[in-house]
Structure 1
Amino acid sequence: MTHTHAVTTHGELVTKRYVSWARDEHLREWTALQALARHAPDLGPAPVSLDPSGPVLVMSRVGGRPLAGALTPVELDGLATALGQLWALPTADLQPIPLTGLLPRVRADIASYCAVGVIGAAYEAAATWLSGPEVDSLFLPGTPVIGHGDPNLSNYLWDGSRVRIVDFEDSGVSDLSFELANLVEHLAGRETDWSGFAGRFPVDQRRLLTARRLWAMFWLTLLRPGGPAEHRNPPGSGERQGERVLGLLRRG
């Protein structure tokens, strides 16, 4: 696994040293934290200083434990509240998240890999869907939001009463459907029942399903035999992901 930063804590301050920043990770995080400080100061860390020559970012420490596993109803409520706050903030000054790069990446991997069984069936169905017109509709203008960019549950801290958000190095202007789909389809959230979660937000359900299909196919390309995430996940993860892709494609 590639590490993009190192984190140290001194009292109430956290220092983040970026190991790589080809996508302006330090600037993305600093800008997002400034937006939070202006409009939702208790939603995440407060920005303290940025040394772009390092780059090194200093921020306040946020308490709580990372969410994980099957979220309880109370934790889901807290996550929905926190994301609702984030997605209601103005997007001025933030760089866009390069969402258009996801589609050609998935298309290329799906087209270049041959498989059998449920993974082969999922790849074949994905290739057909990716060649159709529906997926391209995702890149028409949607509902712009501040996207966190990395919805691993470990980036949401629960203190027993509310959720706060950390690790904004992948943040930027995104689309509400993309962000919800990325959260629901992320491997970290597979034990959680997300039924009804998206209904708490003003999202187009068809657009959301399209985005979920694309994200599910992205995870399939990582979990398939020989994929970059296969060795980090339990045996059979690729097959289960193939079944997930097929299930999403069967939805009307």
Structure 2
Amino acid sequence: MADLQHTHELTYEGDRVVKRYQESKPGAAEREWRALTLLAEHAPGLAPEPVAFEGGAVTMSRIPGVPLRGLFARARHVAAMAEALAELHAAVPPAVLRGVPVRPWQQEAIADWIKKRCAAWQPREPLADRAVKEGQRWLESWSPGGQGLREAFGAGDGNLANFLWDGSRVRIVDFEDSGRSDVAFEVAELAEHVSMWVDGEVEIARRFELSPQEERRTRECRKAHALVWFFLLSHEHPRNPPGTFQRQVERVLTTLGA
């Protein structure tokens, strides 16, 4: 949910990066530091190395690579991204993961956020209004995923810019919204992120081996994340091409009808 907000400042100091968080993002620095520390122990090389944590600033190593957003993502890039995510999801041992707080903006928080945005929606144009009404109707029946879901360590931000390609593998940055999650929820969040389709469709969900229960939960969670982006994009943002919101309206209607 932080994608359209300025939450931190980056300073580059040689082979190190200092990430200083705004006070408006409480807990973000702690989550970033926890993630880097866990991954340094359980998945070395996948993310920056933690160096220092002081106040609201996290110092980490600077890793090489080109962000996948802005790069024409070919099959090898997407495959490497899925491989990195699978490693991330499974990196933290279950006994350790149970002690990790649930990531921000999990199902309950998202459902509440969408309900409030639906209630505050002002009539705009027929297709967008229809998307809101159908979203409200679907939300009333949205329930937890049930049994058979794999817990996972989630990065919490599916922005394509957070995946760096170094020519042979993908590494991951930005863990301010990280925490305990489940594979299906993380795949859905990633698949519906605006960066995954606004510059050209990047199909990632099929890259993961999901159980029937996880496939069902992924489909449902994609509806929720599509609605989140509907509201986030309801005011055109200069980062995205003109017409992005209208494309999102159509995406929501298609997803809800799936």
TM over 0.5: yes
Deviation at 1:140, TM superposition (A): 7.6
Q: Is the 8 A contact 1:87 1:147 kept in 2?
A: yes
In structure 2, the partner of 1:212 is 222
Q: Give the 3 Å change call, closer, same or farther, for CA 117–236 of structure 1 in structure 2.
A: farther
Query: Residue in 2 aligned with 1:115?
Result: 124
Offset of 1:50 from its aligned partner?
1.0
Look up the match of 1:176. 183
Tell me, in whole angstroms, the C-alpha distance in 1 between the residues paired with 2:188 and 2:256. Answer: 14
Aligned match of 2:101: 95
Shift of 1:21: 5.9
Which range moves more in the overlay, 202-211 or 212-221?
202-211
What is the TM-score with the length of structure 2 in the denominator?
A: 0.87
Give the aligned partner of residue 42 of structure 2. Answer: 39
Matched residue SS, 2:249: helix
Aligned residue for 1:163? 170
Partner of 1:15: 18
Runs (5+) with no aligned partner, structure 1: none
3-state SS of paired residue (1:137): coil
Contact 1:95 1:172 in 2 (8 A): yes
SS of 1:245's partner is helix
Between the aligned partners of 1:42 and 1:231, the Cα distance in structure 2 is 34
Give secondary structure in 1 for the equivalent of 2:18: strand
What RMSD in Å do the two structures reach over aligned CA positions? 2.0
Partner of 2:76: 74
**The residue matched to 2:168 in structure 1 has which SS?**
coil
Q: Is the 8 A contact 1:28 1:94 kept in 2?
A: no
Corresponding residue for residue 9 of structure 2 = 6
* 8 Å contact from structure 1 (residues 222, 230) kept in 2: no
Structure 2 Cα separation of the partners of residues 246 and 15 of structure 1: 41
Rounded Cα–Cα distance in structure 2 between residues aligned with 1:93 and 1:12 = 32
Q: Is the Cα–Cα contact under 8 Å of residues 180 and 198 in structure 1 kept in the other structure?
A: no
Is the contact made by 2:82 and 2:207 (CA closer than 8 Å) also made in structure 1? Answer: no
Cα offsets for 1:156-187 (capped at 9, x unmatched): 10001100001111111112111111111011
User: Aligned partners of 2:12 and 2:111: how far apart in 1?
Assistant: 38
The one-letter amino acid of 2:31's match is R
Q: CA–CA distance in 2 between the matches of 1:141 and 1:22?
A: 33
- 1:56 alignment counterpart: 57
Count of residue pairs the alignment pairs up: 243
Aligned to 1:106: 114
How does the TM-score come out when normalised to structure 1?
Answer: 0.88
Q: Could you tell me whether the CA contact under 8 Å between 1:28 and 1:95 is conserved in 2?
A: no
Identity, % of aligned positions = 37
Render the CA deviation track for 1:31-64: whole Å, top value 9, x for unaligned.
Answer: 111111111111010111111xx32211111100
Shift of 1:230: 4.6
Q: Is the 8 A contact 2:64 2:166 kept in 1?
A: yes
Q: Is the 8 A contact 1:144 1:176 kept in 2?
A: yes
- Kindly indicate whether the alpha-carbon contact (under 8 Å) linking 2:79 and 2:207 is maintained by their aligned counterparts in 1: no
Q: Is the 8 A contact 1:119 1:238 kept in 2?
A: no
Task: Decide which moves more: 145-154 or 62-71.
Answer: 62-71
What is the CA deviation profile of residues 189-227 of structure 1, one whole-angstrom value per residue up to 9, with x for unaligned ones? 1023316x4352335111100000000011111222xx4
